[in-house]
Amino acid sequence: MLSLLEIITKTTEFFAARGVEPARLNAEQVVGHALGLKRMQLYLQFERLLTEPELDKIRPLVKRRAQREPLQHIVGTVEWGGLTLKVDRRALIPRPETEELLELVLARVPGGAEGVLRVLDLGTGTGALALALARAWPAARVVAVDASEEALALARENAAALGLGDRVEFLRSDWYAALPVDAVFDLIVSNPPYLTDEEVAAAEPEVRLHDPRAALVAPDEGRADLRAIIAGAARRLAPGGLLALETGVAQHPALLAAVAAAGLSQGESRADLRGRDRFVLARAAAVS
């Protein structure tokens, strides 16, 4: 019989040999999930000998992770923006960069919850941005759209699990297409597809093989969906309303030109925590 620590050590070595990084952290999380133990509980039981039924729970999960299935899919959830979100192949796993976008929006909206009444999340995926904003701003009316019915089903499941099912309206739409003609918003936020085919081909297997391709890739060197969102924003934003976008790192000159062409003001490029141009902000003209 092997101890818990020995299993974690062997799993770490197995993962490292297959390019799974950080190998030790992944080993602890996979083994802990299989046994229903948090990481601190693992540390307190390192010397415990594992039974064969326990090993039978661990082995298939280790195999899945070694084959580069995302850890989040194996565990089934991700902690993001103060929320526990269910994740699977139906939608993109929420990224740390998108959490930075959330923080940027929360810091930029004057007056906090009272400053935003109407929020539109374009390409909601798991519902991460829409649900985090609904929780942060209890008075907000949030609409979350996605072209994928599968993604919307996952977002609705997350909303129900978080007790926010009556706070967010989910709508299948190709960006603005299915919205009422007179619908306007104080905030439009989006993490749309912005990668090229070449960028996805060079990505890690967790991304290349498991994230929905439609949530990753856009034509026109990754800029087509961002351009569509920017072009439609002026008509959908209330006076002074904020547009906040996550983007590719080499797209900002073209996107800021698109912001100006759309009649938006205060176009701004913001870097992420790694210093890469990642976010574009703009506002609708205020009433004079």
Alpha helices in 78-203 (DSSP H): 96-108, 128-136, 149-161, 197-201
**For 249-269, how does the pLDDT look when each residue is reduced to its tens digit (9 = 90+)?**
999 999 999 999 999 999 999
Mean pLDDT of 135-148: 95
Domain parsing of the chain, residue ranges: 4-67, 87-283
For residue 112, pLDDT beyond 90: no
- Whose tokens are 């000998």? That residue is 49
Task: Tell me the torsion sign for CA atoms 96, 65, 151, 259.
Answer: positive
pLDDT in the model for residue 110 = 60
Tokens of 58: 């661990």
Give the residue among 209, 210, 228, 231 at the shortest CA–CA distance from 219.
228
CA 174 to chain centre: 18
CATH topology for 87-283 is: Rossmann fold (3.40.50)
**For 230-241, how does the pLDDT look when each residue is reduced to its tens digit (9 = 90+)?**
999 999 999 999
Mean pLDDT of 2-14: 97
At 177, the amino acid letter reads A
pLDDT in the model for residue 257 = 97
Give the residue among 247, 131, 129, 138 at the shortest CA–CA distance from 188.
129
For residue 109, pLDDT beyond 90: no
Q: Residue 243's beta-bridge partner residues?
A: 188, 282
